[in-house]
Amino acid sequence: MTRSTAIRESFGDKLFLALVYAFLVLILLVVLYPLIYIVSSSFSSPQAVISGRVWLLPVDFSLAGYRAIFSNPQIMTGYGNSLFYTVFGVLINVSLTVMMAYPLSRTTFYGRHVLMGLLVLTMMFSGGLIPYYLTVKNLHLLDTRWAMLLPSAMAVWQVIIARTFFQSSIPKELGEAAELDGCSDFGFLWRVVLPLSKPILAVLVLMYAVSQWNAYFEALIFLKSTNLFPLQIILRNILILNSIDSSMMVDANKMAAMQGLRDLLKFSLIVVATLPVLAIYPFVQKYFVQGIMIGSLKG
Amino acid sequence: MPATTGALERKKTKSAIGAGSLALRDRGKRVRRHWQLYLLVLLPVAYLIIFKYIPMYGAQIAFRDFSPVKGILGSDWAGFKHFRTFFESPNFWVLIKNTLVISLYSLLVGFPAPILLALALNEVRGMRFKRLVQMVTFAPYFISTIVMVSMIILFLSPRLGFVDHILNAFGMESINFMGIPDYFSSIFVWSNVWQGIGYGAVIYLAALSGINVDLYEAARVDGASRIRKVWHIDLPGILPAATVLLILNVGQIMNVGFEKIYLMQNPLNTSTSEVISTYVYKIGLLGANFSFSAAVDLFNSVINLILLLSVNYAARRFSESSLW
């Protein structure tokens, strides 16, 4: 290779690298800006938001939006309900997932291939919305808290992730040794497998928690009573259908101020609704990425 | 993926057990010795039966005239009546067209976008910058569909949104984006990219990190440029993962997300935003037309299944990676 081509190639490489960095910086800004804009708007005054003076940082710092949210009983009930559904939902989700995934990971479990097939089949084909709804209705779960917990009690994808983890990280010899020592399958699961599976349990808890907190479809089709609504349904009413209970505007008696507050409230509400899941994210990113990788590559 | 490893193990266990009555007795003993495993799966299996398989069985109301009094099994048979009504209705082609436009557009843009991001991130040598980009692009994954749609509506609103402020700053008229049917699919697809690109890239980054370092070394010795390394090493390296994801995506072509589209709909854009899943919900649950909408839904599921099976078949024939 002559010297001149080496230089030309490295120039090409430099150009390529510069383009790559430019592309990444562009993506970074495009993803980041809307998030910053929401947060900054939520801390601005209603007037600044309406007149479009917010570009990057909060303008006329105010907490009016947040004050309106926390004085609203409807939103607070929704928050409480969502917390309830998330805590108990995740408890059910993780238990069922482990109960399914652990036997599926054991070679001593006769019939696991049939069961795995039945599990994967539900991923590819479903009865559809109407029979699903009718099933829940026939079980008399409509408009109860159970409707938010039972129909979504287990996710196929998560079972596969957990099974893959058990299979690849719990040595088979360990199971055989435990069996020789007279350890039961329950005992082995409880005393050996679960303590060794903390990373995957963390992943399951996180994935389920995010989907429970963000769930709205089940609430939309199964719930009618306002006092059972999770936060997401309340958000839909306020943010998308634009119907705000006038009682929420107790401290805003002027009409103009009310409209401004109504707009500001949307930004604050987005922050308040997303914060719980987003706040834990930096601490658990490692586990999350790990979980997706287990599920996608080894699965 | 799951089924491939399954098939492999099946072969192994089969040969290990061997054939004949010995195996049968052995099997019985094994089941009895591990009864606790069967006790464990009892609840999950009950869940699958109740919430997955009973609805599958209930899908037969698509072939009946469902009446709430008579129940699913008691209602009269109607044959293919509801399917015929659907195929002959003027909505049929509109729904099919809208569904296909949105999903093919999603596939065309949404499928390569995370690959591009992963390939670009893989070129970055500064770990801190790489981690920053990864962390920020992953964050929107946590945003709920409702919040996502309200962000779209807020940003594009002709009164409040910053998009409008930008248009005004350049002296342009305000546009009511959400009210223009032609913009619907673009708004849907690109906001999906915004939300999902970081999450989608993780899989490809994992595949890229699994590529043998010797290959890069050899390419360097041969004087290959960066682009050639991406083309000849990185792309083949992520091809298996990409194939599997492509199959899964194609198998979902008729299932454009109900949740997001339903929330993005308004009376002005329904001419392009009404898709099969939203139609089923409106006709079925809101309009209480159970059998007809179940037929529409079933038609949709069957098309999806056929697509999934044929793409998988094609992938198995023409490449080394497939679902099973």
User: What are the pLDDT digits (tens) for A65-80?
Assistant: 888 888 888 888 999 9
Whether A178 shows a pLDDT value over 70: the answer reads yes
- Which whole number is the average pLDDT over B106-125? 93
pLDDT of res. A254 = 54
Per-residue pLDDT reduced to its tens digit, B67-77 = 888 888 888 88
- End-to-end CA, chain B: 7
The whole-number pLDDT of residue B9 equals 46
Question: What local confidence, expressed as pLDDT, does residue B213 receive?
Answer: 86
Tell whether B123 lies on the interface with A, counting CB pairs under 8 A.
yes
Task: Kindly tell me if the per-residue pLDDT of B173 is higher than 90.
Answer: no
What type of residue sits at position B253? Answer: I
State residue A294's pLDDT score.
Answer: 67
Lowest mean pLDDT among A167-171, B218-222, B320-324: B320-324
Collapsed DSSP state (helix, strand, coil) of residue B64: strand
pLDDT above 90 for B28? no
Shortest CB distance from A128 goes to which of B6, B33, B59? Answer: B59
- The C-alpha atoms of residue A243 and residue A266 are separated, in whole angstroms, by 12
Q: How far apart, in whole angstroms, are the C-alpha atoms of residue A41 and residue A20?
A: 32
Q: For residue B6, name the pLDDT band (cuts at 50, 70, 90).
A: very low
Mean pLDDT (whole number) for B79-93: 91
Residue A170 CA neighbour count, 13 Å, CB half: 29
- Is the model's pLDDT at A52 over the cut of 80? no
Q: What is the DSSP string of A40-91?
A: HHHTS-HHHHHTT--SSS-SS---HHHHHHHT-HHHHHHHHHHHHHHHHHHH
B291/A130 Cα distance (integer angstroms):
8
Is B47 within 8 Å of A153 when comparing Cβ atoms? Answer: yes
Residue type, B91: N
- Give the mutation candidate from A20, A27, A85 for the B interface (greatest B CB count, under 10 A): A27
**Residues A36-48 pLDDT 10s:** 999 998 898 887 8
pLDDT at B146: 92
Name the residue among B6, B239, B241, B242 with its Cα closest to residue B107.
B242
Query: Which residues does A13 contact at the CB level (< 8 Å), separation at least 6?
Result: B225, B226
Q: In the prediction, which pLDDT does B296 show? A: 92
CA A173 to chain centre: 36
pLDDT tens digit sequence for A232-276: 999 888 888 776 554 444 444 555 566 777 788 888 999 999 988
Band (B161; pLDDT cuts 50, 70, 90): confident
Residue with tokens 């936060």: A231
Report the pLDDT averaged over residues A101-114.
89
Residues of B in contact with A133 (CB under 8 A): 284-285
What pLDDT score does B86 carry?
Answer: 92
- What interhelical angle do A129-138 and B290-318 show, nearest 10? 120
Q: Is the pLDDT of residue A27 over 90?
A: yes
> How far, in Å, are A99, A299, B52, B238, B241 from residue A158 at the CA level?
12, 11, 16, 23, 18
Pick the closest to residue A247 from A43, A14, A71 (CA basis). Answer: A71
Q: What is the CA angle B224-B203-A88, rounded to 5? A: 165
B281 CB neighbours in chain A (<8 A) are: 129, 221
- Exposure letters B248-257 (e unless 16+ CB within 10 A, then b): bbbbbbbbbb
Say if residues B41 and A115 touch (Cβ distance below 8 Å): yes
Cα B26 to Cα B33: distance, rounded to the nearest angstrom: 10
pLDDT in the model for residue A144: 94
- Please give the mean pLDDT across all residues of chain B: 86
Closest by Cβ to B143, choosing from A109, A128, A274: A274
B160 versus B269: the higher-pLDDT residue is B269
ipTM greater than cut 0.90: no
User: Is A7's pLDDT higher than 60?
Assistant: no
Chain B residue with minimum CA distance to A217: B259
- Check CB contact under 8 Å for A106 and B227: no
Residue located via tokens 């039961």: A184
Written as six digits, the tokens of A137 are: 């209705």
The whole-angstrom separation of Cα A19 and Cα A37 is 27
pLDDT, residue B53, reads 95
Predicted confidence band of residue B3 (pLDDT cuts 50, 70, 90): very low
The 3-state DSSP class for residue A191 equals helix
**pLDDT tier, B298 (very low <50, low <70, confident <90, very high otherwise):** very high
Q: Report the share of chain B in percent with pLDDT over 70.
A: 92
Q: Could you give the CA distance from residue A106 to residue B100 in angstroms, rounded to a whole number?
A: 42
The percent of residues above 90 in pLDDT, for chain B, comes to 41
Alpha helices in chain B (DSSP H): 2-17, 21-33, 35-48, 54-58, 71-74, 81-88, 91-110, 112-123, 127-138, 145-156, 162-169, 184-209, 213-221, 226-229, 235-250, 258-264, 270-273, 276-280, 290-318
